[in-house]
Chains A and B, each alone.
Chain A
Amino acid sequence: MNDTNLNLWIIPVLPLVGAAINGLFGRRFKNGMVSAVALLFTAASFAYAVWAAIQGTHLGLPHNEALPFPWIVAGNFNAPFGFYLDQLSTVMVLVVTGVGFLIHVYSVGYMAHEGGFYRFFSYLNLFMFFMLTLVLANNYLLMFVGWEGVGLASYLLIGFFFLKDSAADAGKKAFIVNRIGDFGFLLGMFLLIGKFNSLNFDAVFNGLKGVSPEVGWGVLTATALLLMVGATGKSAQVPLYVWLPDAMEGPTPVSALIHAATMVTAGIYMIARSSPIFSRAPHALEIVAFIGCLTAIFAATMGMAQTDIKRVLAYSTVSQLGYMFMACGVAAYSAGIFHLMTHAFFKALLFLGAGSVIHALGGEQDMRRMGGLRTRIPVTFWVMTVATFTIAGFPPLSGFFSKDEILWRAYLNNPVLWLVGVITALLTSFYMFRLWFMTFFGDLRLGEVDIGEDAHKAHAPVQSQHSAAAHGHGDDHGHGGVHESPWIMLAPLVILAILSIVGGWVGIPEALGGSSHFEHFLAPALVTPETLGAVQQAAEGSTELVFAGISVAAALTGFLFAWLLYYKRPELPDRITARIHGIYTMVAHKYYVDEGYSLLLIKPLLALSKYVFWRGVDQQIIDGTVNGAASASRGIGNGLRQMQSGNIRSYAAWVAAGGVAVIAYMIWWGVGR
């Protein structure tokens, strides 16, 4: 703790102010005013974050500060509104505000013809607020607030076109699946409270100092695993990844910002942040690595058979997140965060570029109807080319360095992980170039390919709530014609393309003539098994070079396959899929995981809820009791009402009967006993 106060709370609160202004008054604003407010506060937040980061380098990091009033105090448990700036959160804050700002700029162009403009920007700013709270919090509880908040913003934005059932359902799915993970996170926090009586990073990490790694399965392993469950939900890992592909129902900038660049990386951030816990729980690390590895290859294979351009990118995101998970699992947190950063650049670029393509085609999302866009939308084509080569891992683009770093560290840990990683890299390269060739080469097939019912659902014809703008985009660019996007959309693309190219150069490993600057920068914020005294494997520069060569070869192989199948001989894929029809159908249906979940979990749960809890407990027991009491009293009242007939002689008869009854009682049972 040091004396300087950076007022870090300003960073998240700025977008909150923007969200509040747009949310409360935006309905009356013109679109220009709405975007001005949204951009101003996001830009201010970015500027302040840059300033804070520069100040941070002069201060001794980690810099820890709390607002002067308490938040939750219960006995000796205390959770402040505290903010924590170290190397890790610096990187995250800069990525979130920087990429976030660019995507805000892009959205101004992309959403210009959509209804609910102010609502969109209000949600987007709200998301920025929660995401910044998440990465800046100095305790798990405040982080959890941000964690839930980004989930909320994600839900709101996925369901932005709420008149479309599929969008509303996708929003609910994302929220509910995340809830499962959040439950694990909560339990993990309870364990932390039990062990350290605090959720503040300082207290927890200081409490862990001097604790040697657990040999077996202990409290730390359990905590780490529960936190990991939280991370699998947020970061879309097996088995909780199913919500992310469906989340593509949201507007494309949302997919870029929330479901590619920032929110889904929260799980990775959380694991890296908790590195003192994870590094002391080797079993948990193994499981993290396994899950990451499984997710990476599983999602990559599914990405190969998708035809919706955004879904390809969605599975690619899941797969890349798997890489980051794997990096965390082999305790190469800095490599994971490095990949997180470069991924934020190139995946945001891919999504925004895809958005630009969709915009150009007036809402078309099916790649089978695209093609030949190379010359028609050249700027988009070039930035997409950069992004595609980056994600495929060609040097010297950023994706190469970060992915290679992960693969190298995976090899040092376990060659099997490395092998799967390389195969995934090959698949990644293949499906990305498949997307590239299908979209930009050949002839435009817009409206030609009759794909039938299946594709009809996927391509989401109505992007807008306003029937007047049924095609969503391009109203004033002339209907139907393929057109390049306006500059307000292209400028962020170009900036992101530059970042995708140079972004990796901060972390060039020593073996490739760099200085591993990024890793050294992050090192103080992370605790790896090596810093805890584990023996570091000998890493020879020349070996690393060979491995870099292998990953480039894998990327090249993927490129060649895609070139052969989707450019040179475009009739081949159909023949091949016909040959392996069974496998293809399985992959195209995403291994029937959704169907499996539906059958195994959702249907039984719904049946249980419907027949036992609703029809049984609620309707029979609870409603039965209440209604029974009501109808019983009504029945009794109805009976008693007959006595009050209004007929004098019947009253008299009642009196007489009463008298007789009293006398009878006296005679039979006596008086005064």
Chain B
Amino acid sequence: MVPLSWYLVLSAILFCLGVSAFLLKRNIITIFMAIELMLNGVNLSFVAFANHWHQLSGQVFVFFVMVVAAAEAAVGLAIIIAVFRTRETLNVDRVNLLKL
């Protein structure tokens, strides 16, 4: 049986990859994917704990997260398209109208 810690380490690695990609990438779609990666890293730790403690609430929670992520993807992609239409770029550093 695979120990719990392995799952958690993998989850942390996925999450950190997501964070680093989020911080370092400039393309807005890549950033979006980084968010999905973070969400799924968290999802992995949820199911790992659910399996470890033999409780279903973790599994259920993952479903919720996936639903929210799907909804967020829909809204987020729509926003990205809107941004691209007005700014003609996907580089977040150029989306800086609020900058001082």
User: Would you call B92 an interface residue if the criterion is a C-beta within 8 Å of the partner chain's C-beta atoms?
Assistant: yes
User: Would you call A569 an interface residue if the criterion is a C-beta within 8 Å of the partner chain's C-beta atoms?
Assistant: no
Contact of B23 among A645, A646, A653 (CB under 8 A): A653
Instruction: Encode contact with B along A643-661: 1 for CB under 8 Å, 0 otherwise.
Output: 0111111001100100100
Closest to B100 in A: A646
Rounded to whole Å, the gap between the CB of B53 and the closest CB of chain A is: 17
Report yes or no: B96 in contact with A646, Cβ–Cβ below 8 A.
yes
Report yes or no: A648 in contact with B92, Cβ–Cβ below 8 A.
yes
Contact of A646 among B19, B26, B98 (CB under 8 A): B98
Report yes or no: A641 in contact with B23, Cβ–Cβ below 8 A.
no
Report yes or no: B92 in contact with A649, Cβ–Cβ below 8 A.
yes
Report yes or no: B99 in contact with A646, Cβ–Cβ below 8 A.
yes
When distances are taken between beta carbons in the complex, the residues of chain A under 8 Å from B22 are: 649, 652, 656
The CA of A645 and the CA of B97, in the complex, are separated in Å by 11
Report yes or no: B93 in contact with A645, Cβ–Cβ below 8 A.
no
When distances are taken between beta carbons in the complex, the residues of chain B under 8 Å from A653 are: 23
Report yes or no: A645 in contact with B92, Cβ–Cβ below 8 A.
no
Prevailing SS type, chain A contact patch: helix
When distances are taken between beta carbons in the complex, the residues of chain B under 8 Å from A645 are: 99-100
When distances are taken between beta carbons in the complex, the residues of chain A under 8 Å from B19 are: 656, 659
Contact of B100 among A641, A649, A652, A659 (CB under 8 A): A641
Report yes or no: A644 in contact with B100, Cβ–Cβ below 8 A.
yes
Instruction: Encode contact with A along B21-56: 1 for CB under 8 Å, 0 otherwise.
Output: 011001000000000000000000000000000000
Interface residues on B, range: 10 to 19
Rounded to whole Å, the gap between the CB of A23 and the closest CB of chain B is: 59
Closest to B16 in A: A656
The CA of A155 and the CA of B78, in the complex, are separated in Å by 82
Instruction: Encode contact with A along B58-100: 1 for CB under 8 Å, 0 otherwise.
Output: 0000000000000000000000000000000000110111111
Rounded to whole Å, the gap between the CB of B19 and the closest CB of chain A is: 5
Report yes or no: B23 in contact with A649, Cβ–Cβ below 8 A.
yes
The CA of A350 and the CA of B26, in the complex, are separated in Å by 100
The CA of A649 and the CA of B97, in the complex, are separated in Å by 14
Closest to A663 in B: B12
Rounded to whole Å, the gap between the CB of A554 and the closest CB of chain B is: 92
When distances are taken between beta carbons in the complex, the residues of chain A under 8 Å from B99 are: 645-647
Closest to B96 in A: A646
The CA of A641 and the CA of B23, in the complex, are separated in Å by 21
Instruction: Encode contact with B along A619-649: 1 for CB under 8 Å, 0 otherwise.
Output: 0000000000000000000000100111111
Question: Given A647-B93, A648-B92, are A656 and B100 also a contact pair (CB < 8 Å)?
Answer: no
Report yes or no: B98 in contact with A652, Cβ–Cβ below 8 A.
no
Rounded to whole Å, the gap between the CB of B28 and the closest CB of chain A is: 9
Closest to A660 in B: B19
Report yes or no: A648 in contact with B23, Cβ–Cβ below 8 A.
no
The winner among A645, A647, A653 for most chain B CB atoms within 10 A is A647
Report yes or no: A647 in contact with B96, Cβ–Cβ below 8 A.
yes
Report yes or no: B23 in contact with A656, Cβ–Cβ below 8 A.
yes
The CA of A648 and the CA of B22, in the complex, are separated in Å by 10
Rounded to whole Å, the gap between the CB of B1 and the closest CB of chain A is: 27
When distances are taken between beta carbons in the complex, the residues of chain B under 8 Å from A656 are: 19, 22-23
When distances are taken between beta carbons in the complex, the residues of chain B under 8 Å from A647 are: 93, 96, 99
The CA of A225 and the CA of B96, in the complex, are separated in Å by 82
Closest to A646 in B: B99
When distances are taken between beta carbons in the complex, the residues of chain B under 8 Å from A652 are: 22-23
The CA of A652 and the CA of B92, in the complex, are separated in Å by 12
Contact of B93 among A641, A644, A649, A659 (CB under 8 A): A649
Ranked nearest first, the 7 interchain pairs of A and B with the lowest CB-CB distance are A646-B99, A646-B98, A648-B92, A656-B19, A646-B96, A652-B22, A653-B23
Q: List 9 A-B contacts (CB under 8 A).
A: A645-B99, A646-B97, A646-B98, A648-B92, A649-B22, A652-B22, A653-B23, A656-B19, A659-B19
**What is the interface of chain A, defined by CB distance below 8 A to chain B?**
641, 644-649, 652-653, 656, 659
